[in-house]
Amino acid sequence: MLDEEKPEPKRVRGPLSDAEKARIEQLHADDYGRNQIAELMGRPWATITKYCQRAGLTFARHDAAIGVEKQRIEGAQRRATLVLEMLDDAERLRERMFAPTKYLAKFNGDSDKILPQPIPQDQANLAKAVTTLIDSTLKIEAYDRANSTADVARSMLGRLGDLITANASGPYVPRMPDDPFANEGPVPGEEDQGKGETA
């Protein structure tokens, strides 16, 4: 059975109120894109675009950020494909380390030789090539992992900042834990405070 298509969200039409215009400008200042503003406002995309054009609000920075993010994602996908191909190459080279190998005759009168596996020097060269490929794949994966972790951290900090801003009705005052020593008398040396001072 085919999934039922979800109906398009109903959009408010008609002129924008002053409050809506102010909110659009605030969302634009907070780096929201056209589609995001339209979604939050429940207004058609065209309405948001027309108002922003009249108000001189551009989305060049936001569009550029989207372009950079798109390139970053495409780069990560290409690196992931490259890693798989390099691992395939490493596997093929490793197989050659133990496969029958043909050596061409070096001198007239000699015949070509097929050995059960490459000579030790060639095996060592193949092993180095395999190691280089594997090391390179690990570096690429480490790079992507580090950048992914940094993106998650930035995203979490951004959400935390949004939450604090949204809930801030005054200065932030951390809640202090109950003092476990509140009923245990004065702090040592407290009774000596003020002694030795002249009136």
Please say if the pLDDT value at position 132 is more than 90.
yes
Summarize the confidence of residues 100-126 as an average pLDDT: 92
Q: What is the pLDDT of residue 14?
A: 82
pLDDT at 66: 74
Query: 114 forms bridges with which residues in the sheet?
Result: 102
Q: Which residues lie below 8 Å from residue 196, measured CB to CB, with a gap of 6+?
A: none
Q: Distances in Å between the alpha carbon of 168 and those of 27, 41, 140, 173?
A: 18, 22, 42, 10
What is the value of pTM for the model shown? Answer: 0.48
Say yes or no to pLDDT of 160 above 90.
no
The confidence score (pLDDT) of residue 30 equals 85
CATH number of 10-58: 1.10.10
**Pick the residue with more confidence: 21 or 64?**
21
The answer to whether the beta carbons of residues 32 and 62 sit under 8 Å apart is yes
- Please report the pLDDT score of residue 185 as a whole number: 52
How many CB atoms lie under 10 A from the CB of residue 57?
17
Percent of all residues in the chain with a pLDDT value above 90, rounded to a whole number: 32
Higher pLDDT, 108 or 23: 23
Residue 156 confidence (pLDDT): 64
Q: What's the pLDDT band for 157 if we cut at 50, 70, 90?
A: low
pLDDT of 163: 60
